[in-house]
A and B are shown apart, each in its own frame.
Chain A
Amino acid sequence: MGNQQPVKTAASAPARKRKIGNPINNEKTAGYIFTLPFTFGFLMFMVVPMAISLYYAFCQYNILQPPVFIGWDNFAKMGSDAIYQKSIGVTFYFALVSTPLRLIFALFVAMLLLENNKLSGFYRATYYLPSIIGGSVAVSVLWKRMWATDGTINRILGINFPWLGDTRTAIWVLIILAVWQFGSSMLIFLSALKQIPQSLYEAAMVDGANGWKRFWKITFPLLTPTIFFNLVMQLINGFLAFTQCYIITQGKPMYSTEFYTVYMYDQSFTYYNTGYGAAMAWVMVLIISAVTAVLFATKKFWVYDGGL
């Protein structure tokens, strides 16, 4: 009886206030107020601009003059735009090559860092660093200098190869930079690796499984949900890569490194074909949606979803 008394009071107080019509104390109202900053930002900086860009995609628009509705013309133009098609090829190549390489590298480093010793915290922070700074303009500029004909890489190798000037190698300069930014995937792998119960390994060792077998029979299957997550996220990042290309190569040479986003940016802000740029952006939305949908469709074939 003595226990129930305070509960009753607490329950009846808001009830009374609701009756006299003060919505401020309503729990739902409080929730809405707390989410207001996000909701406002989401609407103003995401939903509204996207709606506007969808409209521009069907317009002839050059920023300086009001948009004129032209229907599907912008989308039709993509069919005859050779540079556009080239940029799609380059972007797919970049995303599909750099993402698996990055994940393999991240998993490799994560397994090395799994050992706990005095310095492991330091190492983890150090290896994460490229992810924080790798997308920055400063690192891109540094990277450009390193791969120049008279840059560090050639000095170390003792050769004089124009990495950035050759249509076959320029894209790889960007891919290697992307692989180097493996930190966030590495951290996710690291925490997933720690979740795997040691007892499984012990049992396998008793049964005589070697390290290679233990990796493929225990570690890899149990990591597949994490690999799937990383793959989806990193692939999307790959399709949306911008800074590296914009700063380092600007699509040179011969558009062999022209990223989709950079071409979109050029169309929008250099040639003032902003309607066309908006249309390109929406096609990219469709491409990424399709790629992600395909990935999810394959999930049931290789991702382990059993409970542990």
Chain B
Amino acid sequence: MRNLKRGAAAALAAAMGAGLLVGCGGASSGTTSAAAGGSKTSAAAGSSTTKAASGSSTGDANMVFAWWGNQTRNERTSNAITKYQEQNPGVKIEGQFSEWNDYWQKLATNSAGNALPDIIQMDYQYLNQYMNTGLLYDLTEFTKDGTIDTSKWNQNMINAGTMDGKLVAVCAGINAPALVYDKAITDKAGVTIKDNMSIDEFIEASKKIYETTGYKTNIQYGTAQEIFSYWSRADGAILFNTGKVDATAENLAKYFKIYEDGEKDGWMLSPTVFAEITIGSVEQDPLVYGDNPENQSWCTFCWSNQYVAVLKAAKEGQDMQMTTWPSADPKKSDFLKPSQFFSVSSSAKDPKAAAAFINWLTNSEDANNILLGERGIPMNSDIADKVSAQLSENDQKTYTFVNTVVAKNCSDINPPYPDGYTEAGKALNTILEAVCYGQETAEQAGQDLVSQGTAALAAKASAK
């Protein structure tokens, strides 16, 4: 009896995920990705030619396209899908979208059930893991037969999506770390925010803003592995490397100290604010979500492609601007990043049709006139120019920011994140939480992160 109950709990947990999935499904017709068992890699590859042939001649295909994102992305991508279906009668694409965290849990359970969506929005952080386990389809055959046209693509971004000579991920857009801030607040405080600030200048600005306006500061609470990684680059270290934490305990303690001092001095947002919101959601970011200076931040550490979404979520009277994340050495810290990729899963029923859709998303004006660079600057240079020309003034800021501010003052991106990155990141945020709640000193935190982070990364590295 108890066993049944326990089994029921596990089933409930799975059902929860499924429930969220259904709840978030786009303008879906009620079909689910789990409908067909999905064939194994070899089977799919073996039959791909025949399937693809029939697919292109009749134009019939049924596909599932899954992505994570925000309201803006969901709307634009759904519209793009509708457009593609109009142009290609017979092709049916079901969009499934969710928030970042749910997305990866869903994807993992889907892969266990051999029912991955045909087209997956992939992230740099997970690329390694999915590639190594053979879950991604090698698209090289489609670049050779002309289904995918790579002639105008940015070579660095092609490289980022190529592993072991296989093109497994197509860059969906280029972005860069961006500090989005409310200029209405900084003006009121009499603070000028300039590009390539140092950490000290940033802290000074934060203090002054707090003293004059009461608005506080949020430095990626809950997702701080990104900023810690960024700062570590200035020290010449890869924060989470394969099997170990590269950064030293002393340097990490220095960064934890910023939070420790910030909480003591009051200019750092209280950790209690984050217990009430979904961390990582643009719409619930303290920059736009709070209702008074106590629970509002004057800035958010995000990515340049999220600027559009932040603008959309902004309240009346907010004047959102963009600059680089502060660092001791901006040139060493900053980098351009494939914001995300489109991948085809190895269990896709019709890889060629999926490849054709990805080609349309990346290379066609029709698609990009709808998407308007929300996922980042298109890596197709022609498309990027055409899209940028018709953007609103605000959207063009993203282009200018990435192309002129960051591109001219940055270094190569870190190698794809190692296995165990998620767990090490969670360890970092757990330690940071303890620091912000005053339960742990910055010095202790630095040592804890080295030991706990290394433990998490080493466990996964040795499992290989």
Report whether A243 and B112 are in contact in the complex, using a CB–CB cutoff of 8 Å: no
**One of A198-206, A207-215, A264-272 contacting the partner:** A264-272
A240 touching B6 by the CB < 8 A rule? yes
Verify A242–B108 contact, CB threshold 8 A. no
Interface presence of A150 (CB below 8 A): yes
Q: Decide yes or no whether A129 CB sits under 8 A from chain B.
A: no
User: How far apart sit A44 and B7, CA to CA, in the bound complex (Å)?
Assistant: 12
Asked if A144 is at the interface of the complex by the 8 Å CB criterion, the answer is yes
Chain B nearest CB: distance from A253 CB in Å? 5
List chain B positions with a Cβ less than 8 A from chain A: 2-13, 16-17, 19-20, 23, 101, 104-105, 108-109, 111-112, 129-130, 133, 135, 270-276, 291, 295, 422-423, 426, 430, 433-434, 437, 439, 463
Contact B463 A60 (CB under 8 A): yes
Residues of chain B with a CB closer than 8 A to A53's CB: 10
Checking A62, A246, A252 against B274 with a beta-carbon cut-off of 8 angstroms, the contacting residue is A252
Residues of A within 8 A of B272 (CB): 149, 162, 164-166, 253
The CA of A68 and the CA of B464, in the complex, are separated in Å by 11
Q: Which of A8-16, A25-33, A280-288 lies at the interface with chain B? A: A280-288
Closest to A150 in B: B291
Asked if A23 is an interface residue, CB under 8 A from chain B, the answer is no
- What's the least CB distance linking A81 to chain B, in Å? 11
Kindly list chain A residues whose C-beta atoms are within 8 Å of the C-beta of B10.
49, 53, 281
Q: Are B104 and A246 in contact (CB under 8 A)?
A: no
Alpha-carbon distance between A272 and B437 when the two chains are bound, in angstroms: 28
- Report Cα–Cα, A149/B10, bound state, in Å: 33
Given A68-B463, A236-B5, output 13 extra A-B contacts at Cβ < 8 Å: A45-B11, A63-B109, A64-B108, A149-B272, A170-B275, A252-B274, A254-B434, A254-B437, A261-B9, A269-B105, A269-B109, A270-B105, A289-B2
CB contact between B133 and one of A64, A264, A270, A289 (< 8 Å): that residue: A64
Cα distance, A165 to B439, chains bound together (Å): 14
Neighbouring B residues of A236 by C-beta, 8 Å = 2, 5
Contact for A162 among B12, B20, B133, B276, CB less than 8 A: B276
**Chain A positions 69-118 with a Cβ under 8 Å from a chain B Cβ:** 83
Q: Does A137 make an interface contact (CB < 8 A)?
A: yes
A240: B residues at CB distance < 8 A: 5-6, 8-9, 12
A46 within 8 A of B: yes
Chain B interface helix/strand/loop/mixed: helix
Rounded to whole angstroms, the CA-CA distance of A240 and B3 in the bound complex is 12
Among residues of B, the one whose C-beta sits closest to the C-beta of A167 is B437
Number of interface residues of A (CB under 8 A): 47
A182 to B228, CA, bound (A): 46
Is there contact, CB below 8 Å, between A165 and B276? yes
Chain B nearest Cβ from A306, distance in angstroms: 26
Assess the B9–A165 pair: CB atoms within 8 A: no
Q: From residue B453, how far is it (CB to closest CB) to chain A in Å?
A: 13
CB-CB < 8 A to B463: which residues of A? 60, 62, 68
- Tell me the bound Cα distance from A144 to B276 in angstroms: 7
Q: Which residues of B are found within 8 Å of A270, using beta-carbon distances?
A: 101, 104-105, 422, 426
CB-CB < 8 A to A83: which residues of B?
430
Name the contact of B111 in the complex, choosing from A50, A63, A242, A255 (C-beta under 8 A): A63
A68 CB contacts on chain B under 8 angstroms? 463
Are A164 and B276 in contact, with the CB atoms below 8 A?
yes
User: What CA separation (Å) do A1 and B31 show in the bound complex?
Assistant: 66
User: Known contacts A63-B111, A254-B434; is A50 also within 8 Å of B271 by CB?
Assistant: no
In this complex, the member of A46, A64, A137, A246 whose beta carbon has the largest number of chain B beta carbons within 10 angstroms is A64
Given A53-B10, A270-B104, decide whether A63 and B112 contact each other with a Cβ distance below 8 A. Answer: yes
Point out residues on A near B: beta carbons under 8 Å. Answer: 45-46, 49-50, 53, 60, 62-65, 68, 83, 137, 144, 148-150, 162, 164-167, 170, 236, 240, 242-243, 246, 249, 252-255, 261, 264-265, 269-273, 281, 284-285, 288-289, 292
Closest chain A residue to B129, Cβ basis? A64
With a cutoff of 8 Å between Cβ atoms, the chain B residues found around residue A49 in the complex are 7, 10-11
Is the CB–CB distance between A242 and B9 below 8 Å? Answer: yes
Q: Which chain A positions have C-beta within 8 A of B23?
A: 137
Question: Shortest Cβ distance from B440 into chain A, in angstroms?
Answer: 10
Q: In the complex, which residues of chain B have a beta carbon less than 8 angstroms from the beta carbon of A242?
A: 9, 12-13, 16
> Hey, which chain B residues are within 8 Å of A164, CB to CB?
272, 275-276
Docked pose: A204 CA to B112 CA in angstroms? 64
Find chain B residues with CB under 8 A from A149 CB: 272-273, 276, 295
* Residues on A with beta carbons closer than 8 Å to the beta carbon of B108: 63-64, 269, 272
Interface centre among A45, A46, A249 (most CB of B within 10 A): A46
Report yes or no: A254 in contact with B276, Cβ–Cβ below 8 A.
Answer: no
Residues of chain B lying within 8 A (CB to CB) of residue A144: 276
Give the complex CA separation of A207 and B270 in angstroms.
63
Contacts of A252 in B (CB 8 A): 274-275, 433
User: Given known contacts A242-B16, A288-B6, is B270 in contact with A165 (CB within 8 Å)?
Assistant: yes
Identify which of A65, A249, A253, A261 contacts B271 (C-beta below 8 A): A253
A265-B133 in contact (CB<8A): no
Known: A49-B7, A64-B108, A281-B6. A253 touches B437 (CB 8 A): yes
Q: Give bound CA distance, A209 to B274, whole Å.
A: 55
Contacts of B16 in A (CB 8 A): 137, 242-243, 246
Interchain residue pairs with CB less than 8 A apart (17):
A63-B111, A64-B112, A68-B463, A137-B20, A150-B295, A162-B270, A165-B270, A242-B16, A252-B275, A261-B9, A264-B13, A270-B104, A270-B422, A270-B426, A271-B426, A281-B10, A284-B6
B437–chain A nearest beta-carbon distance, Å: 6
Residues of B within 8 A of A65 (CB): 133
Residues of A within 8 A of B12 (CB): 240, 242-243
Contact A269 B295 (CB under 8 A): no
